[in-house]
Structures are given as C-alpha cells and as structure tokens.
Structure 1
Amino acid sequence: MIRHLATALLALAVGTTTPAAATPAPVPVADHEIVFTADGTTVYGTLRVPEHRAGHRLRAALLLPGSGPTDRDGNQPPRSAPDTLAQLADTLEGDGIATLRFDKYGTGRTGLGAYKDRPEELDYPAFVRQAQAAYRALRDQPETDPRALLVVGHSEGAMTGLLLGGTVHPRPAGLALLQPQAIRMLDLVTLQLKAQVTEAARQGQLTPEDQRTIDAAIDAAVTSLREQRPVDTTDLPPAIAQLFEAFQGTNARFVTSDDAVHPPDTAAALAPGTKVLLTCGTNDTQVPCFTTNALTTALRQAHAGRPGRVKLPGVDHLLHSAAHPNALAPPVLDALRRFTRR
C-alpha cells in the first residue's frame, strides 16, 4: 500500500511540474555599420556590440579621436596607424561594454560632408556637435542602456568629451580623458615647439642666441594668430614656419575656435559625482603630465568622481610603451579597468 501511494505521489509530482524556461542563447559579438546625421552631413561609424543575452541592455561608450585627420580607428592613413580607438573598442568589449567610434569630418567615409565646398567654415564647435550627434545615436541603440553611457576621448577627443559631459542628455555616467588636451591649443603647441627647440640646442644644432630668437618668434606667431593677424615667419625654422602657415587660411577658423576653449573652465558643467579618469603618460612628449594640473584641480572642485588622474609610467601619447609599441600598454589597461569597474 505504501509503495502504491509513493508511486502515485511521484506520478502526481512529475505530472504537475512546469519545465524550467530555456536560457536564451547568447547574442554573439558583432560590428555594425552605423549611419547618423550631423549638421546635414552623413556620418559613418562602427558599433561594436559584445556578446550578451538577448534583450539585455549594455553599458556603452562613445570613442572620440585625437586631433588632425584621425579616423574611427584612431589612424591617419597612410602615415600613421596605431589603431588607438580600435584597440580601445577591443578592450572595452572584453568588459562587456558596447562602443561607437566614427569617422569625424575630413576622414574615412564621412569626409568633409556638408563642408566639402566651404572647408574654411569648419570650426571646432562643428566637431563638438558631430560628437553630440554620435552620443545620441549611441543612446538610441536597442542594445545600449541610456542610463549607463560613457565617453572615452583621446587627446583632443578628450577635450571634446569633457565638453559633451556638460551638455548631452542624459549626462554620461563617466568620462575617460586619455592624454587630454588640457590647456588652450596654442599654449600646448607653444610648449611642444619650444621643447623641440630646446632639444635641438642641447644637441648643438642651435646656438643659445638662435634658441632665444626662435622662442620669441613662436610667441609672436601665437599672438598674431590670436589677434587674427598674419604671422611673420621670418625668424622661424622652415618646419615651424610651415606649421604656422597651415594654421592660417582654410584652417584659421578651426584653430581660433579650438584655442578659445580653456578645458579647466568646462569641468564646472559636469554633474557632481560623474566618474572621471584622467591619464597622463610619463613618456608623453605631446601632453606632459604637468599640463593636466589645472584640469585635475578643476575636476576636484567640480566634485567629479574617482579614479581621477592616473599617471601611466613609461606610456607615450599613443598609449604605448617601449615594451608594447603596437598595443595598449598594461598601465593603460589597468587604468581602464579601474574606470569601468562597477
């Protein structure tokens, strides 16, 4: 009798059990070509979506390139191909973070777009508006969580990211400012050029008098640009003269508008508590660590969140080191993990 009762209870239990819902198959990692519009220009980019569960919203980061004709991968073909942004996308994918990187004006499939026949009108605010449009495009992707958006900018892209942090909606949860342009553009150019002149004098290629003359000519050239007057290149070496000539004419409006931005002033617009990573490399000759001091102080005063400024030993401007000349250096990867840690 007990055996029959146990058998009946077992049959009842088996018959009334609801099978567990099957676990959805993971969606594999994929790159998608993304198209969005900024000021009448069709902009092309790549959305990298990590492996994830169907229907699950992901953290997502907008990647912003450095100065010059730097494309969505962080390259200036054919002379420079460090793949800076492509490598950042790979790294963030490993942390389950989707990324959008795009060809800014003058690069890749985007080209000059609406400015093709009027390149002299292309100014720095146009690049900021393009980045804002990219942020909205990333926000609206079905795979991304609009409450968990990040902005990761390199060099000039870091300054652009800082401006986005105080203007887009929703505000980003975090900003990674990698080797940022942290002072006015022409002040940074002056530092870079004078460092080159000093090194040339140290090597005996210039006399002390030559160095003083060239330094004074650099200062005069910057003053002329800021006052929108023609630059006198008489006392400048050919390479430096060529640079200042390039800053005039078609590029004058961009240079003036970029130089008008003082990055520490933009930090005040950030939402208090915004997570901020600011890196500087000890081998970065383009953006020395001391140039980030004022911005670091401004971020602290704006009550930005950690990790704050992180010095990267042995790392250059392209986020490489002597031991890792073609990949993101380990200190960069460590800093990014601190930034993306929940």
Structure 2
Amino acid sequence: MPIPYILARFASLLLLLSRPAAAQSEEPIRYSVTVPAGVNLVLDGTLTVPATLTRKVPVMLLIAGSGPTDRDANSAYGLRTDAFKMLADSLARSGIAVARYDKRGSGTNLSVVHTALRPETMVFDHYVADAVGIIRQLQTDKRFSGVFVAGHSEGSLVGMLAARQTRAQGFVSIAGAGRNIVDVMKEQGRAGGNPAQVQAEVDGVLDSLRAGQRVHPKNPLLKAQLSPSTQPFLISWMAYDPAVALKAYEGPVIIVQGRKDLQVALADAESLKAARPDARLLLLDSMNHILKSVEGTDRNVNFATYKDPTLPLCPGLVPALVQFVTSQAAR
C-alpha cells in the first residue's frame, strides 16, 4: 500500500476523532408505498440531522443505485461500502440534513417485497413515485428550508425525474448515466470482455427490449438475467433518456463523476453536461463508482473497495456538495 495513502487514511482518522461525538442525530423515517394502488409495502429510512437545530436547514434526499442497494449503499449480495451513511454523517456536520431510504427490493423490505408486489408488475416509474412521495414528506417538515435531491448511478435518473415533479430546490447527479441504459449496458459488456458472439446476442436482446418487445434469449446466462418477470421493468427503464430528463428539470444541477469509475463512463457525465450547459461538472480524479478513492488502474484493486466499508469517501466530494447546497439554499 503506498505510503501517501496510509498517511491519508491516518489523517482522516485523526480528523474524525477530533470531531464532537454528537455532531448529528438520527431518526427513522417511513414511507407507505402508494403505487400500484392497494400495495401493502413500507419503505424504511434514516433521517440524519445536525445535533442542534436553531434554525431551518436544507435537507438532501439520497437515492441509491441499481440492484438491491440499501440506504447505506450496501446490499445483500456482497456490496459493503457504507458510502451513503458516511455521506449523511459528513453533510450533517456541515449543517445539511440527509434522508436516505431502502428502495423497493432492498434493505429491510428485501424479504417481503415480492409478497407485496409481483415482480412482473414492477416498473421503473414506481421507483420515481416512491422518491416523489418521500420528497413531499420532507417538503412538509417545518425544520427544513428546502429539499435537494441526489441520485447515485441508477438513482440519478430516478432523482432527476422526481426532482422535476416536486420542483426540488436542486439536483445532484452522482455517477449517473447520461445515455439510455441500453447503450450503457452494451458498453459494460464489451468492457467486461464478452466474446464477440455473446456480445452480439446481448446487443440484439437489448435492442429488442428497448423497442418494447419481450425476448427469449438462447444463452443460459442471459436467460437467468432476463427472466420474463424482470423484462417489464427493464423495458420501462429503457424508455428514458437521462439527458432529456435532466434538461426538463429547471432547477440548479451539479454533475459529479469519478475518473476511476468502472461502471459509468466520463462520456455519461459529459452527455449530462451537454444537456444542461449551466450545470457544474465536477470530475474527481481518484473517485470510483462507490465514491471511494482508488490508486492506480488495477480493476481488482478498484472492485476490492466495494467490500471495505472502512475506506473514507473520496476527498473533494463532500465539500463540493456542501458548497452547492449552501449556495443555492442562500438564494
């Protein structure tokens, strides 16, 4: 391990130890799902607030990325980052409250979501509806001066759509796709080393789904990943172009992208920036997809960070978000 990296970790630890123990407090939040009608499903979450509230403060809603990623940016399938918990704690120390929640199919509702919802009925807009509902709950809370929305990865598209519907005070895209998810998935397949024949089948399957057509892939792996019950969700997701969605949102925007991200390309951030030329584009040289710093270009080293929740957040991320929120909240 490089000496500068060890020193950075040690310095971060000293900084944490020097901070007051009661810099923030946590309280539970709950949201009862409203769509589809008649669904009995509650999403649990956490609201982190500055320890002493003497005035109204801005609040940021964090929306997690794809898969069963929970409110802390962890999952039951081996993802252990605590990235959102760290982000919430850091922002609260700077006077910004943070709400985060277990989206459908993650965290506390992972074991019950399929008893409440049939998988084949789930569509992308349900994620958006949940985010909209939670934003509106926060907008009625008199402790908060305004609501900001931050979406990570898949949550970026969810967040920009929800921010538009609720007229949120500002939006943060973190490692968000700037192209249709079909194009991103094709690129990920090629980057992952798919053989040409396999990639050709992947491309054809994805194009069919984007056209709204159900598929019956021959490849056993594709059959497992694209079961009939998951295809309605994918088709609904593929109907959106993130660049178009971001352009439709009229509030202030900051686009955050790490140069060490192996899942979302720099081109995606540039596409979002082209859609909103007035947005700030923040490129963090050492940040990977899970908001942690990586030295070098070894893919195995990069992915190893996905299972180490002790790693601190990438330097530069929190100050940029604090500056964005406080500058907009002051207007």
The interval holding the TM-score normalised by the smaller chain is: 0.7 to 0.9
Shift, 1:114, TM fit: 8.1
2:230 aligned with 1:232: no
2:262 to 285, 300, 324: 285
> In 2, distance between residues paired with 1:267 and 1:230?
30
1:179-203 per-position Cα deviation (integer Å, ceiling 9, x unaligned): 00221112111100011127xxxxx
Q: Report which structure shows greater RCO (CA 8 Å, sep ≥6).
A: 2
Q: Given that residues 35 and 42 in structure 1 are in contact (C-alpha distance below 8 angstroms), is that contact kept between their aligned partners in structure 2?
A: yes
In structure 2, what is the equivalent of residue 149 of structure 1? 147
In structure 2, what is the equivalent of residue 30 of structure 1? 25
2:249 aligned with 1:253: no
Q: Given that residues 120 and 251 in structure 1 are in contact (C-alpha distance below 8 angstroms), is that contact kept between their aligned partners in structure 2?
A: yes
1:192 to 188, 191, 202: 188
Letter in 2 for 1:328: L
1:113-141 per-position Cα deviation (integer Å, ceiling 9, x unaligned): 58625121011100100011111122222
Unmatched segments (≥5 aa) in structure 2:
1-21, 296-301, 306-310
SS in 2 for 1:52: coil
Q: Given that residues 148 and 325 in structure 2 are in contact (C-alpha distance below 8 angstroms), is that contact kept between their aligned partners in structure 1?
A: no
SS in 2 for 1:250: coil
Letter in 2 for 1:287: V
Shift, 1:60, TM fit: 0.5
> In 2, distance between residues paired with 1:229 and 1:105?
23
SS in 2 for 1:248: coil
The alpha-carbon distance between structure 1 residues 134 and 123, as it changes in their structure 2 partners (threshold 3 A), is same
> In 2, distance between residues paired with 1:95 and 1:320?
20
1:318 to 290, 294, 297: 290
Letter in 2 for 1:290: A
For residues 149-228 of structure 1, what are the structure 2 equivalents within 5 Å?
A: 149-168=147-166, 171-197=167-193, 211-227=195-211, 228=213
The alpha-carbon distance between structure 1 residues 295 and 53, as it changes in their structure 2 partners (threshold 3 A), is closer
Shift, 1:28, TM fit: 7.0
Shift, 1:43, TM fit: 1.8
SS in 2 for 1:249: coil
Shift, 1:294, TM fit: 2.3
The alpha-carbon distance between structure 1 residues 53 and 130, as it changes in their structure 2 partners (threshold 3 A), is closer
SS in 1 for 2:105: coil
Q: Given that residues 73 and 81 in structure 2 are in contact (C-alpha distance below 8 angstroms), is that contact kept between their aligned partners in structure 1?
A: yes
> In 1, distance between residues paired with 2:268 and 2:130?
27
The alpha-carbon distance between structure 1 residues 195 and 113, as it changes in their structure 2 partners (threshold 3 A), is closer
Stretch deviating more after TM superposition (324-333 or 59-68)? 324-333
> In 1, distance between residues paired with 2:117 and 2:274?
42
> In 2, distance between residues paired with 1:51 and 1:275?
28
SS in 2 for 1:256: helix
Shift, 1:267, TM fit: 2.2
- Using the size of structure 2 for normalisation, the TM-score is 0.80
In structure 1, what is the equivalent of residue 96 of structure 2? 97
> In 2, distance between residues paired with 1:267 and 1:65?
18
Q: Given that residues 66 and 154 in structure 2 are in contact (C-alpha distance below 8 angstroms), is that contact kept between their aligned partners in structure 1?
A: yes
> In 1, distance between residues paired with 2:209 and 2:53?
54
Shift, 1:109, TM fit: 2.3
In structure 1, what is the equivalent of residue 13 of structure 2? none
1:28-47 per-position Cα deviation (integer Å, ceiling 9, x unaligned): 73211112222143221111
Q: Given that residues 214 and 231 in structure 2 are in contact (C-alpha distance below 8 angstroms), is that contact kept between their aligned partners in structure 1?
A: no
- Using the size of structure 1 for normalisation, the TM-score is 0.77
SS in 2 for 1:132: helix
In structure 1, what is the equivalent of residue 17 of structure 2? none
For residues 41-190 of structure 1, what are the structure 2 equivalents within 5 Å?
A: 41-54=41-54, 56-111=55-110, 112-113=112-113, 116-145=116-145, 148-168=146-166, 171-190=167-186
> In 2, distance between residues paired with 1:232 and 1:113?
27
Letter in 1 for 2:322: R
Aligned length: 286
SS in 1 for 2:230: helix
2:221 to 214, 236, 242: 242
1:262 to 236, 241, 246: 241
> In 1, distance between residues paired with 2:117 and 2:270?
40
Letter in 2 for 1:282: R
Unmatched segments (≥5 aa) in structure 1:
1-26, 199-210, 235-240
SS in 2 for 1:290: helix
1:154-188 per-position Cα deviation (integer Å, ceiling 9, x unaligned): 111111111112111xx222111100022111211
Of structures 1 and 2, the larger Rg is shown by: 1
Letter in 1 for 2:254: L
> In 1, distance between residues paired with 2:198 and 2:253?
38
> In 2, distance between residues paired with 1:293 and 1:315?
16
The alpha-carbon distance between structure 1 residues 35 and 315, as it changes in their structure 2 partners (threshold 3 A), is same
> In 2, distance between residues paired with 1:126 and 1:80?
24
